[in-house]
Structure 1
Amino acid sequence: MSKPFDMELFLAGMLNGSHATRQRHLRQAELIQVEIAERWQRETPWAWQRKHLAWFLEHRLGRRSEATRYYYVLTMRVLTRRLEKAWVFAR
């Protein structure tokens, strides 16, 4: 049996700012990971494509406030920077 993916370790070098900001990014990244794994069966960010994050933003956050969407887009920017991708997401 394989070990569960450790999002904190994955993002360790990318997170900066206050403790609360780092914790928010981790919490949101873990939620994104769970949702994508359930819908697309992609367990790790290395297997993600841009469409997976766009799906999360559109379908899972579609009815959330603009502020919530904004903070998730910030977390997605951290994830894409860690993956070394040039993906851009609209707020």
Structure 2
Amino acid sequence: MSKPFVMELFLAGVLTGSHSTRQRHLRQAKHIQADIANRWQRETPWTWQKKHLTWFLQHRLNRRREATRYYYLLTVRLLVRRLQKLWVFRCHAKI
């Protein structure tokens, strides 16, 4: 039986800042994980591709405020840093 994935342990090495900032990143990372798992059945970040995170940023946040999209972008950049990938994401203005 496999153990459930724990986002806190996954991000532990890259999380910095105040307690509230770390909690926000964890909350948003869990939200990203749940949406990607729902859409593509990819349970852990180790199985994600760049297209999964691009989909989340473009389609799941398209009706959110610009500030919200920016904070999620920061969380995505933390996830990418933890995965040790060279993926680049930019903030997209609402159309």
> How high is the TM-score relative to the length of structure 2?
0.93
Which residue of 2 is the match for residue 60 of structure 1? 60
**Counterparts of 1:89 and 1:3, CA distance in 2:** 31
Deviation at 1:89, TM superposition (A): 1.0
**Counterparts of 1:87 and 1:72, CA distance in 2:** 15
Structure 2 residue 11 is matched with structure 1 residue 11:
yes
1:24-60 CA-to-partner distances (Å, cap 9, x unmatched) read: 0000000000000000010000000000000001110
Which residue of 1 is the match for residue 48 of structure 2? 48
Which contiguous aligned blocks of 4+ residues in structure 1 show a shift greater than 4 angstroms?
none
Aligned residues: 91
> How high is the TM-score relative to the length of structure 1?
0.97
Deviation at 1:3, TM superposition (A): 2.2
Structure 2 residue ranges without an equivalent (≥5): none
Which residue of 2 is the match for residue 27 of structure 1? 27
Structure 1 residue ranges without an equivalent (≥5): none
**Counterparts of 1:14 and 1:8, CA distance in 2:** 10
Deviation at 1:90, TM superposition (A): 1.5
- AA paired with 2:21? T
Q: CA RMSD in A?
A: 0.7
**Counterparts of 1:12 and 1:23, CA distance in 2:** 11
